[in-house]
Chains A and B, each alone.
Chain A
Amino acid sequence: MGMLKDEDKKYLTEQFEEKMVDPVPILLFSQKLECEYCQPTEQILTELAELSDKLTLDIRNLQIESADAKEFEIDKVPAIILLRDDKDQGIRFFGIPSGYEFSSLLAAILDVSAGTNDIPDDLRAKIAAIDKPVDIKVFVTPTCPYCPGAVRAAHKIAMLNPDHIRGQMIETTEFPHLANKYAVYGVPKTVINENVQFEGTMPDQAVVEHVLAALSSRD
C-alpha cells in the first residue's frame, strides 16, 4: 500500500502541475542497513516523484557513493538535497520528512522550481552579501506544527546564497546524539554556526539578523 493517500496524490499532482516551473532533481542519500528511516524515506520520495514529470529522484548509497556524499557534506542518512540545474541549493533534510515536515519539503520543492522565494528585497541583499560559511541547523519533530516555519526560514535563506549557506532540517528523534550535543528538549530549535541559537519560530528578518550576529561574533 502507498504511503500517500489518494486524495493527497491528486491534490499534489494538481499543485505541481500548476506551480512547478523548472525541474527539481531530488537527491537522496540512504543505506540499506542500520537505518530505520531510510527505507520509508525512499518510499515516500518515490511516490512523490511519480506525481510530476518535473520531479526526479536519484537515490545514492552513503557508503558506496561516499565521494558524492562528501561532496554534498552528508554524514548521516536519510539525507535529502534539492538541486536546480545540477546546482546545490543549500537545502538539506536529515531524517524522514514526515508529518508537518512533509509540507516543508513541498514548499522547498516549489521554491527551488521557481528559482526564488518570498524573502523581500532588502533582506535578499543582506543574504547575498554573506561571504563566509553559514550553517543553520533546525531541530524538529514531525508532530510539531510550528516547526515548518523555522525550517522554511532556514531553507529560504540558504537558497538565496547556496555557495555559503546551508539550511538543514534535522529530525531530532532520529539523531539522538545531535539532540544531546545541542541540548534539544524543545522544538523548533535553531542553531547557527554553533554559536547562536534560539527556540521557536521567528519572522525571516529576525532569522537573518541572527545569521549576521553569528558571523560577527565569530570574527
Chain B
Amino acid sequence: MDFSFSVSGTPEVDLKDSYDVVIIGAGPAGLTAAIYASRAQLSTLVVNKGVAGGLAASTEWIENYPGFPEGVSGAELGRAMQAQAQRFGAEIFNGEPETLDIASHPKRIKLSGKDITTRAVIIATGTTPKKLNVPGEAELTGRGVSYCATCDGPFFKDKQIVVVGAGSSGVQESIFLAKFAAKITIVEFLPTIQAEKILVERFEKTGKGAFILNHELLGIEGADKVAGVRIRERSSGSERLLSCDGVFLYVGLAPQTAPFADAVGLDKWGYIEVDSSQRTSIEGVWAAGDVTAGATRQIAAAVGAGATAAIEAEHYLSSKS
C-alpha cells in the first residue's frame, strides 16, 4: 500500500485589523501573488475556501508545469506553493468573505464575523466545473454523477463509466479513472476530439476506453443511482441509452465571480476583464488566473498572471504611501 499525507491544511490565523493586500483564492494564481506580495514585505492575507492549490490540487498528475521533468501531483504542487507563500509571511485564512466592499478606500472585508480593511485586493477565484443542466443531473449528483474524478473515482471499481467531454480535462481524468473502472466511454458533442494528442494516446493505451463523438447528452437516468445516459447522434438524430454506473462531467468551467459581479467589469461570459497589468475596472483591485477574461487556462499561465498582479499592486501601494 502506498500512502501520502498532506500537511497542507491551513492553520487558523489570528486576523489583523488591516492588510496591505488581500488575495481571494489560493489556486496557483493567488498563491503566486501571495509569494510575490509577502516577499515584497507587504502584509498579505489569502482568503480561500477549499484547499490550497485550487483546481490544480484536484488534478492527479500535472506534466506540463515547468520544473518537474517527471510531472508532479496537483496536491503536492498546491502544498509546495502554499508553503512558499507562508515562508515569506503570507497568512492563509480558510473561508470566504461574508461581505465585501472593494470599491471603497480602504477596502472592507468581513471574515468570520470580523471586519478587516485592506489597501489592495487581488481576485484569483478561478473557475468551477460547469453543469450541463440535463434532466437527472442534479438529482443524481452524489449518486453516480460527479465532477471530481480524484474524489469519487474509487467508488467505481470494475464499473462502467461515462465521461462527458473529450477536451483535455475529460481525457486526462479518464486516464485516472481507468485505474478503477472496467470501461470508460467518453461522449463528446463535437465530431472531433479536442484533447491533446499525448493524452488521447495514453487513454487508448489503458485498453479500457472508447469515444462516442458527435453525440449530445440528453439526460442521465436512474432511480436512486445512475443507471445510464441517454444520448443522441447529432446528424441522424437517433437516440439511445448507454448503461453505466457513473457519469463524470468535464464540459467546461464557469468563473467564480459571484461576490464581485456587481463591482468589477465582466465580459459577456462572466469573466473579469483585466488589462495587461491585470488591473480590473476598480482602482486597487487586480484579478489573475482562470477567473479573468481571455486567460489561457493553465497553471503556468495562472502563475504568470498572479506574479504580474502582485508586482503591479506593490507598485501601486508604494506610489500611494
Contact = CB atoms under 8 A, between A and B. Distances in A.
B7 A146 contact: no
Contacts of B1: 36, 40
A44 B152 contact: no
A27 interface: no
A64 interface: no
Looking at chain B's contact residues, is the secondary structure mostly helix, strand, loop, or mixed? loop
Contacts of B148: 144-146
A180 B33 CA distance: 44
B3 interface: yes
Q: Which 3 A-B pairs have the closest CB atoms?
A: A103-B9, A199-B142, A144-B151
A93 to B, nearest CB: 13
Contact of B143 (A103, A114, A179, A183): A183
Contacts of B112: 118, 120
B7 A8 contact: yes
B152 A187 contact: yes
B301 to A, nearest CB: 21
B84 to A, nearest CB: 12
Contact of A110 (B12, B113, B146): B12
A40 B2 CA distance: 10
Interface residues of A, number: 50
B106 to A, nearest CB: 23
Given A15-B11, A118-B12, A186-B152, A98 B5 contact: yes
Nearest to A4: B5
26 contacts: A8-B5, A11-B7, A40-B1, A103-B7, A103-B8, A107-B10, A121-B113, A141-B155, A142-B3, A143-B60, A144-B148, A145-B75, A145-B150, A146-B50, A146-B58, A146-B148, A149-B49, A149-B50, A173-B154, A185-B142, A185-B152, A186-B142, A186-B143, A186-B144, A186-B151, A203-B95
Interface string B59-74: 0100000000000000
Contacts of B58: 145-146
B6 A183 contact: no
B243 interface: no
A162 interface: no
Given A106-B9, A120-B112, 7 more contacts: A8-B7, A100-B6, A107-B11, A143-B153, A172-B155, A186-B152, A199-B142
B96 interface: yes
A106 B11 CA distance: 9
B141 interface: yes
Contacts of A82: none
B28 interface: no
Tell me which of A100, A102, A120, A172 has the highest count of chain B C-beta atoms within 10 A of its own C-beta: A100
Tell me which of B57, B141, B144, B154 has the highest count of chain A C-beta atoms within 10 A of its own C-beta: B154
